[in-house]
Amino acid sequence: MTTADWHDVDPADLSPVVLVVGGFLTMPGLYRQMADALRDRGAADVVIAPIYTPDWVLCAVRGLGPVTTRAGRSLLAAGALSSASALSGAGPASRGAPILYVGHSAGGILGRLLTSPEPFEGRRFGAADRMGALVTLGTPHLVGSEARWGGRVATSGARFANRHVPGACFAPTTGYLAVASRRVVGDEGADDPRSRSMRRLYEDVHPAPDQPVVAGDGLVPVASALLPGARHLVLDDAVHGPGARFRWYGQGEQLDAWWPVALEVWRDALRARQALRGR
């Protein structure tokens, strides 16, 4: 492969630089194993946004603006790695192509906020052109009017995004993949108190009074995690976050289920950009 710009290369021959942005109250170290797995599966490189648990805790006072800004800086860093690969001639490479953004839980909301051309909490990002694809893992995109889970994450973030960058707003030149899981069932009529408690937890995220039985990943119900207009993938066995007894979205066969789809979505978006450029 030559040092051609990505516009002149078949996307099937390109590999993305991936930006991983973690979920509410997480820290970057929880995603290192996932980052290594993505490199093993063909990512040109992986950047993990340096957002730590105290940063998330401060969102209750400062809002989501500071952590969104930090995610934006990481997006620029990932883009710089992609651009550097266009000069190196080494592979696998993205040749300067827009990055593949992977947001876990609240990290997916930050990704949507970064695409907004409207200012969020006084910060204007408008970074959709920098993302070839936006992949969300267990992200609460749709929240009820009385949702209590996640505080400002569920209210100010998701609602702003749904108002200003609804659904797959920038498709087809930015691809969207929303990944959910049906692994944990909440049933308000079950004999098991844990199942009844899970149904109440899901109700806090996405009220569904006419659905006594609701499936999700143990924190976010399927109905909340599926972004309208995005490509959807519902896994059978993933749980919400790393460190759980069962495998989560970023591990093993769960990662293997969505990663090829994410690559397809990313490459389709690059083809759409190439087609527009060729007109």
What CA dihedral angle connects 266, 271, 274 and 275, to 10 degrees? -140
Indicate if the pLDDT at residue 156 is higher than 90: no
Q: Is 51 among the domain residues?
A: yes
pLDDT in tens, 157-194: 999 999 999 999 999 999 999 999 999 999 988 999 99
Q: Is 140 among the domain residues?
A: yes
Task: Give the count of beta carbons closer than 10 Å to the beta carbon of residue 272.
Answer: 17
Number of structural domains, the chain? 1
Contact present, 141 and 225 (Cβ < 8 Å): yes
Q: Is 218 among the domain residues?
A: yes
Q: Is 202 among the domain residues?
A: yes
Does the pTM of the predicted model rise above 0.75?
yes
pLDDT in tens, 42-78: 999 999 999 999 999 998 888 899 999 999 999 999 9
pLDDT in tens, 75-119: 999 999 998 876 555 555 899 999 999 999 999 999 999 999 999
Residue 120, domain extent: 6-277
Indicate if the pLDDT at residue 2 is higher than 50: no
Indicate if the pLDDT at residue 1 is higher than 60: no
Nearest by Cα to 137 from 174, 85, 100? 100
Indicate if the pLDDT at residue 225 is higher than 90: yes
Q: Is 195 among the domain residues?
A: yes
pLDDT at res. 60:
80
Q: Is 1 among the domain residues?
A: no
Q: Which residues pair with 180 in a beta bridge?
A: 234
Q: Is 30 among the domain residues?
A: yes
Instruction: Give the domain CATH number at 264.
Output: 3.40.50.1820
Q: Burial letters for 1-32: b for 16+ Cβ neighbours within 10 Å, e otherwise?
A: eeeeebeebebeebbbbbbbbbbbbbebebbe
Structure tokens at 240: 């919400």
